[in-house]
Amino acid sequence: MKKVLVMPAVAAVLLAAACNDSDRTLVGPTPGGPPSVATARVRFFNATTGMTGSGGFTTNGQFATGSALPFGQRTETCATVNSGAAAFGFGAANSGGTGLSGSAIASLANQNIAAGGTYTVVATGSASSPALFLLDDAFAGPLPPNQAAIRFVNLAPGTGTPANNFTVLKGTLGSGPTQLVEPNIVVGAPTPFAMVASGANDYTVLKGHETVVTGSAAALFLAAGGVNTAAIIPTASGGFQLINIPRC
């Protein structure tokens, strides 16, 4: 008899909780269904020169946590960004690395971010007049075992006219056969992805007819199954270097 009296009370409590929950907004995955908000992943990379301290990035007006980066550095973890139209900004980071010191000095508006996509946002050029580029890291795989994907991007615009253009060769010029990867790589326009054997891969970077990156400085170790963007950026001494940016 007692059970008959208790059960309606329990049902009333559960009904009240359900009614209250119906007014709440789901912020995580719905059980058995897709996430409530479709997202993509974004990595940031700072290739600007002449900036005192670190540069930082914003996404849709909000500082991207962990994106206060010195020259030549990338974020170790990737930011989660809602799909759809997105805006990115870049400027000097504050001393604590928690925000921008003042307003963004470069921006990239109305960028289409695909649900489930992976992207790299790069800042390049001089600290006084930087440029932002959004690189879509989508790769039409799958990769066979013991293979990796790699492409190259020019992030060294220089200060002269015309801007720096680079040619990349597979192999070390003067030490065996080489193969043309891509000629005349312009700033901010990545080459197509190519599949190569994973492990050590040697390259040569030319500016015109001058070899500017070679030997150990152009040797990249590519993990099996990895999708990589090799950025050509300046050095402090006025030369050039290769920095590998793996996909999120």
> Are 204 and 215 members of one domain?
yes
Are the C-beta atoms of residues 231 and 188 closer than 8 Å to each other? no
Nearest alpha carbon to residue 55 among 2, 106, 111: 106
> Are 143 and 248 members of one domain?
yes
> Are 124 and 148 members of one domain?
no
Split at pLDDT 50, 70, 90, the class of 26 is: very low
Does 144 fall in a domain?
yes
139 has a pLDDT exceeding 80:
yes
Confidence (pLDDT) at 127: 92
What is residue 215's DSSP assignment? G
Name residue, tokens 């996430």. Answer: 35
Element (H, E) at 144: none
Confidence (pLDDT) at 37: 64
Q: Which of 85, 119, 138 is the last residue of a domain?
A: 138
> Are 112 and 154 members of one domain?
no
Does 45 fall in a domain?
yes
> Are 105 and 179 members of one domain?
no
Number of neighbours of residue 235 by Cβ within 10 angstroms:
15
Least confident range of 6-20, 42-56, 184-198: 6-20
63-121: per-residue pLDDT in tens?
A: 999 999 999 999 999 999 999 999 999 999 999 999 999 999 999 999 999 999 999 99
Which CATH number characterizes residue 63's domain? 2.60.40
What is residue 131's DSSP assignment? E
> Phi and psi for 174 in degrees, rounded to 5?
90, -5
Q: What pTM does this model have? A: 0.83
Q: Which of 116, 138, 160 is the last residue of a domain?
A: 138
* Ramachandran quadrant class, 222 (left: phi over 0; alpha: psi -120 to 50; beta: rest): beta
* Burial annotation 147-168 (CB, 10 A radius, 16+ → b, else e): bbbbbbbbbbbbeeeeebbbbb
* Range of the structural domain that residue 116 is part of: 34-138
Residue 171 neighbours by CB under 8 Å, 6+ apart: 177, 178, 179, 202, 203, 204
Q: How many domains does the chain have?
A: 2
> Are 75 and 148 members of one domain?
no
> Are 154 and 95 members of one domain?
no
> Are 90 and 161 members of one domain?
no
> Are 247 and 148 members of one domain?
yes
